[in-house]
Structure 1
């Protein structure tokens, strides 16, 4: 198991590519000190001085021992590394090459002693690629500050040494931008100034070289009161006279240059450990003698997700794997600046980089590609093809040699590379919550983030793990250091203006612009589908729902979604379920508002509402929760509801679509589709009770009641009041329950709604039972029974019989209870109503237990338990488990009672049923006390 430590950036440790938790900042500070002086013994006094300086806390030694103990535990899973205690203190015993700082210094020493510029350049590049940012980032002690300054000086010296080699090798053009950036940071460094002047001159920019000399001459005079050094003055004179001595030195050895075309590594790169490891696994096989084909990795994902940053970070981390060079081209597959780069133009650029003179490049494109493959054959090279449009653009740029590796980034999926060439696709998703916070902290600093934890959490939530959004938000905050993060969070709070807040005016730092490049590549019907998806509420969408939304057949919808997948605008995260990132969804909705007529948007949403309403209604009928049917309007034209064939299919559909049903009901209410709004509440009744979604049930019926009032439909209002009464009863709101049920009773009587009147009496049975008034509960059950018998509704007659039987039992009227429950059980079985059958078996178990027939109670409860599991009635299952525990306890089967009560407690907690959970906890506590007393005796 390979362990690696990093201090050239945030202090980190990785085991086989996975992060090791190193604890808080002080603890990581102790580790950093041990890493700097690896294999050396440091006393507790030395450690304390380096950690706290003169401000050491009381009992500093004890605190340090605690830190060291935790670090030893954290590192115990590794091999080849040990934190040991010695007589003089503590030492970290390790191969120093596992620490990036020591590896950096070794590589520099080897580079400076190398006789070959080519070899030295590779070593310098490998050393510099180890830097991930500020050394010991986030740690601030006087000792580490001094070490940090020294290490920075080593880094800058290495950069200058590397520049000299690269200039000798003719890389002046590639160096210009980098040298100018360094010169801005170090305006008084004369060696760097000389390098920039020489690069300008060799690039044919003599005037720029002379201008830079005058600039540093003035700065030296103004700031230090000195003239440029003699070497810089001589260089200036040589440039003035165009001295031949400044020409490139004659090449020694091989005439083929080693291309180093990679752009700079991204600054402050964070996270993506799993993806980096996957790239290393895939591309690390290049050059393997057992391979016969080039290794290809494709990093895919939507614009702004961080594909290029990941590719370049990995490439710079792994320069040593490719000593013969790295080729890079931005293929501009999705770029507003112009058309995608033709493959022939990219091949031409590669040939120039590989040392082919312009006159030696064949005119024929196929001949150029063949020459390119010949030049890279048997060379260990990395080819980075950034922002590819499609497979056709990539194919001519692939080497033929297995010694090479190819890293492609694209918004498209490039299936041809996978199918024909065995490429591995690495889909890039949003950052995890921890990675997103790490990115924001790296950009803004830990103090600013820690100062506003709530605003930071809100910012992270609004950016939803999207790297470009996080970078834009962090950039805005960095440009305005006095602006509270809360102000930026408030600006991002409104979805209508969020994309505007994440638009800097720069094409490459604007979410709208980045998304627009993908949108512009879509055909008209695909673009329309994308825009309509932006209107759909809920976390994702199923294929049937999308078909209704778009108004096309499922087969054609699947093709449209596949086209959107190809450019990473949607993601099929489960079979026939598609997700659009929140920020991409906002952009899609913006485009819909701009490009779709209002009536077309309304029609699409109405189709979606009808899809959920008619499918849920059919599912509710399958579950058999209601004693009556609704008269639904026909679905809108183009809507295709799903047909649910049985209870398992219905429960699976409701489970998957539950958040969408809640969202669609709110959508219907917002658009004034009141009939659909209350009917959507009705259609979720059975599922909510089976799966204990009590608060959701209350919420949908509050919306439903408002809708029925808006319609002036007294019958529907009565139903809403009855369902709200039921919901409040289950949630312990007894006064609210009776208020709604009394209103329902009055309304059903007013409109002569006999089924509704009967159902309300049945719900009043449960309401009074919850208050402990069994006689009134029984009275309402008997009134419901009389009405259901008048209606000839045997299933609901059975429900009323079951409730009547249970309350007879509670009142000690066991013969009447047995007669009622037995009749109910027969009716339920006659109509194959398993949910009601389970409820009645539970009642018979209660009756048997109350009358002392505990063995019979166990049998009834076991049968009820099996049926409730079968029909997915988890709410009622918890109650049966509790009562089963009571029956086991009555038979002195305390171990079995404990199991059942614990199972009931777990379900009660999951269902947020506090009263029932407390009751189960008390029973378990009583068992514990009994066990303790038994042991004491």
Structure 2
């Protein structure tokens, strides 16, 4: 770059950008723009911006121009930086990549016992997916429902797993689920990234950046990706990694010709089993001797099962559970059932599978048969044994016996220990039976189930997030027969909320769509903090949208205002600032109408946070001061303390240090009076940051160490690392480089153990500091 700018003409583009960032900060007389502030000004994700400043990614032309303009580069410097960018990009293309240790996920479902036949299809998958990478390793296995697509692919995937040492990813896209919407590609990608141990903070919100992040993580991995139950090409295409080292196998009821055209996918058509394969399947499940003893009966069972693997499995399970019943007698029963259902036949051999289902269903005991009907009322994707007890409204021992009977009859699968799922054909059959039940009985069962989820989720949320405000739509006692789970402590509560995430989200949507508005709102409130901390912001926005509509139908103005506020918060996280602003304004109007000044205070505080993220610091101060006044008026001392600390932080950014010290010291005193150690830690950190900018480095370090002790006591590892990194900054400013390096190294160890994206920037700072010694 030009002489005297402090930016070297170097291929180290990341260092050039960082120096330009520091120079622009000095010119403006303020602290460096944080990644979050740059994200607010550009609309890009923090993870992408961090990658630019640490040399992990090269900005494209359009972003590069905006970035360097934001950092105050002159036109001449922009040209020179562009040249450096292009040179770095070319060097990276030429430089051989050295793979770094990465998580090897293993998401394959459990392999099913009794697999038989399909030798030709297994050989085809071997040929197509285990051959040379340049041949294009994408296969689409298509076929009718119940024909065994998932069973085949999962069996093959387990057999081939050793050929994919970097892991196996699996997702069920629920393309044809009768009771749930198909999984959006973005959601599937986020699940894949989490399986590869990508921290939530590094997962972009913008769709194009999300897909790019996924492709970057999969690049050069020898990994198998199983995409099950796809509805159409558009649902699958974003999940294709675009790297020759990965193999992808897709299952669908459709042939997906678009993938064949656009990605060279290889079609594998799966038909009904042959008679020999059907006989082999029955032999595997019943024993060869029993099958060979009654060949005519076996032929009849195969005929009545339409050679459909799912129907054959159900029939075999019926025979296996009653060893005294001959196969001839079973064939006769099946023929009778077929006669009873002949009026429902539509001429399609596959439709006759209901004969097999009805025959196995009729063989169930009364309790298990009733449970089978009720399971179709669950929104999915699976259900725990504990939730099934509440759904059934029967004693736990009886319900567990029913689950055992259903799994033994192959009418239900226990795909992981303690969690059960219905095949979609069986769900449709069960739903038809449930439709004949008394509507009041069905509603009572759904009420028990939703009460189970609401009360358990609410109790778990209170254990994990102990400062939650009282729920504006209070809980009624659970309905008779509902047995919410008892959760002992915070770790158990966290594990429960995590395991039930997909189920709870489905329950919110189902409740909102079937007249259970109170449950929909309460459940969303209960899972909000967990989804937020986990970075599941798209899921959270979807849930609060349903909750907002539910609150409107309930006529609960405070709940409606709170829904607007939470939608504002989550849209701020997603960088949708215009949408967030509208919801903030609607929340304020709602709280004003309801006369709820505390709700208005919370909203002003979150509006201040949005303004800060957008770089509107003066507006952040104004909204923060309004929040402070409202907290004082309502007597909410914890809210008052946090608002004081927020406003103090904003004053630091404006270099109004007297005001900053006043607010932060008042916040610290108030947190001390109410015994809030989390708040005290943050207040000490803010005070330290203020003293740092006043060049009182000794006092800054003292305050930082007070904060560190509290963060360690409460177990907040990220805040401990962030504070320790600022300790290093203070030592550097005080002319103590060795202490700075030691503090940064300590912070880096924590961030790396957490897998946090801030580790990249701190590592670069540490290496630069070591290089300059």
* Length-normalised TM-score, structure 2: 0.52
Q: Label 1:848 to 1:714 Cα distance change in 2 as closer, same or farther (>3 A).
A: same
Give the C-alpha shift of residue 841 in structure 1: 5.3
Match of 1:538 among 376, 380, 385: 380
Q: Deviations over 1:664-705 (max 9, x none)?
A: 111121113333323322222322333332222222222222
Unaligned 5+ residue runs, structure 1? 1-128, 141-267, 278-303, 317-321, 340-384, 398-409, 411-499, 871-876, 910-916
Q: Deviations over 1:508-533 (max 9, x none)?
A: x8553443343222112211111211
Alignment of 1:785-824 (within 5 A): 785-814=628-657, 817-818=660-661, 820-821=663-664, 824=667
Match of 1:859 among 675, 682, 705: 705
Unaligned 5+ residue runs, structure 2? 1-115, 128-150, 161-271, 303-314, 331-343, 732-736
C-alpha distance in 2 between matches for 1:885 and 1:521:
67
Match of 2:446 among 583, 595, 605: 605
Does residue 568 of the first structure (1) align with residue 410 of the second (2)?
A: yes
Residue in structure 1 matched with residue 458 of structure 2 by the alignment: 617
Give the C-alpha shift of residue 313 in structure 1: 8.0
Secondary structure in 2 matching 1:578: strand
Does residue 885 of the first structure (1) align with residue 725 of the second (2)?
A: yes
Give the C-alpha shift of residue 761 in structure 1: 1.8
Q: Deviations over 1:440-471 (max 9, x none)?
A: xxxxxxxxxxxxxxxxxxxxxxxxxxxxxxxx
Alignment of 1:741-756 (within 5 A): 741-756=584-599
Q: 8 Å contact 2:318–2:409 — kept in the other structure? A: no
Residue in structure 2 matched with residue 393 of structure 1 by the alignment: 323
Does residue 897 of the first structure (1) align with residue 740 of the second (2)?
A: no
Residue in structure 2 matched with residue 427 of structure 1 by the alignment: none
Residue in structure 2 matched with residue 683 of structure 1 by the alignment: 526
Match of 2:484 among 638, 641, 649: 641
Match of 1:767 among 610, 628, 634: 610
Q: Deviations over 1:400-457 (max 9, x none)?
A: xxxxxxxxxx9xxxxxxxxxxxxxxxxxxxxxxxxxxxxxxxxxxxxxxxxxxxxxxx
C-alpha distance in 2 between matches for 1:764 and 1:270:
50
Q: Label 1:658 to 1:744 Cα distance change in 2 as closer, same or farther (>3 A).
A: same
C-alpha distance in 2 between matches for 1:753 and 1:605:
33
Residue in structure 2 matched with residue 56 of structure 1 by the alignment: none
Secondary structure in 2 matching 1:393: coil
Give the C-alpha shift of residue 138 in structure 1: 9.2
C-alpha distance in 2 between matches for 1:542 and 1:130:
32
Q: 8 Å contact 2:701–2:730 — kept in the other structure? A: no
Secondary structure in 2 matching 1:667: helix
Alignment of 1:454-533 (within 5 A): 505-506=348-349, 511-533=353-375
Residue in structure 1 matched with residue 499 of structure 2 by the alignment: 656
Q: Label 1:733 to 1:573 Cα distance change in 2 as closer, same or farther (>3 A).
A: same
Alignment of 1:718-737 (within 5 A): 718-737=561-580
Q: Label 1:566 to 1:833 Cα distance change in 2 as closer, same or farther (>3 A).
A: farther
Alignment of 1:213-224 (within 5 A): none
Residue in structure 2 matched with residue 240 of structure 1 by the alignment: none
C-alpha distance in 2 between matches for 1:328 and 1:787:
79
Q: 8 Å contact 1:269–1:313 — kept in the other structure? A: no
Alignment of 1:86-485 (within 5 A): 272=155, 312=280, 328-329=291-292, 389-390=319-320, 393=323
Residue in structure 1 matched with residue 516 of structure 2 by the alignment: 673
Q: 8 Å contact 2:641–2:670 — kept in the other structure? A: yes
Q: Label 1:620 to 1:792 Cα distance change in 2 as closer, same or farther (>3 A).
A: farther
C-alpha distance in 2 between matches for 1:685 and 1:570:
31
Give the C-alpha shift of residue 710 in structure 1: 3.0
Q: Label 1:864 to 1:848 Cα distance change in 2 as closer, same or farther (>3 A).
A: farther
C-alpha distance in 1 between matches for 2:555 and 2:624:
30
Q: CA RMSD in A?
A: 4.9
Give the C-alpha shift of residue 330 in structure 1: 7.0
C-alpha distance in 2 between matches for 1:927 and 1:920:
10
C-alpha distance in 1 between matches for 2:453 and 2:584:
28
C-alpha distance in 1 between matches for 2:118 and 2:353:
29
Secondary structure in 2 matching 1:525: helix
Residue in structure 2 matched with residue 626 of structure 1 by the alignment: 468
Secondary structure in 2 matching 1:603: helix
C-alpha distance in 1 between matches for 2:539 and 2:154:
37
Flag the structure with larger Rg: 1
Q: 8 Å contact 2:685–2:704 — kept in the other structure? A: no
Secondary structure in 1 matching 2:458: helix
C-alpha distance in 2 between matches for 1:558 and 1:845:
58
Q: 8 Å contact 2:645–2:663 — kept in the other structure? A: yes
Give the C-alpha shift of residue 605 in structure 1: 1.8
Give the C-alpha shift of residue 711 in structure 1: 3.5
C-alpha distance in 2 between matches for 1:131 and 1:647:
48
Secondary structure in 2 matching 1:512: helix
Q: 8 Å contact 1:336–1:517 — kept in the other structure? A: no
Q: 8 Å contact 2:391–2:482 — kept in the other structure? A: yes
Does residue 694 of the first structure (1) align with residue 537 of the second (2)?
A: yes
Q: Label 1:857 to 1:562 Cα distance change in 2 as closer, same or farther (>3 A).
A: farther
Secondary structure in 2 matching 1:568: coil
Q: Label 1:139 to 1:389 Cα distance change in 2 as closer, same or farther (>3 A).
A: closer
Q: 8 Å contact 1:882–1:901 — kept in the other structure? A: no
Give the C-alpha shift of residue 884 in structure 1: 3.7
Secondary structure in 2 matching 1:389: helix
Does residue 548 of the first structure (1) align with residue 390 of the second (2)?
A: yes
C-alpha distance in 2 between matches for 1:532 and 1:131:
34
Q: Label 1:130 to 1:894 Cα distance change in 2 as closer, same or farther (>3 A).
A: same
C-alpha distance in 2 between matches for 1:742 and 1:275:
53
Q: Deviations over 1:227-268 (max 9, x none)?
A: xxxxxxxxxxxxxxxxxxxxxxxxxxxxxxxxxxxxxxxxx9
Secondary structure in 1 matching 2:420: strand
C-alpha distance in 2 between matches for 1:335 and 1:824:
79
Give the C-alpha shift of residue 921 in structure 1: 4.8
Q: 8 Å contact 1:330–1:387 — kept in the other structure? A: no
C-alpha distance in 2 between matches for 1:131 and 1:649:
43
Q: 8 Å contact 2:681–2:708 — kept in the other structure? A: no
C-alpha distance in 1 between matches for 2:470 and 2:126:
69
Match of 1:590 among 432, 435, 446: 432
Q: 8 Å contact 1:624–1:686 — kept in the other structure? A: no
Q: Label 1:393 to 1:642 Cα distance change in 2 as closer, same or farther (>3 A).
A: closer
Q: 8 Å contact 1:573–1:579 — kept in the other structure? A: yes
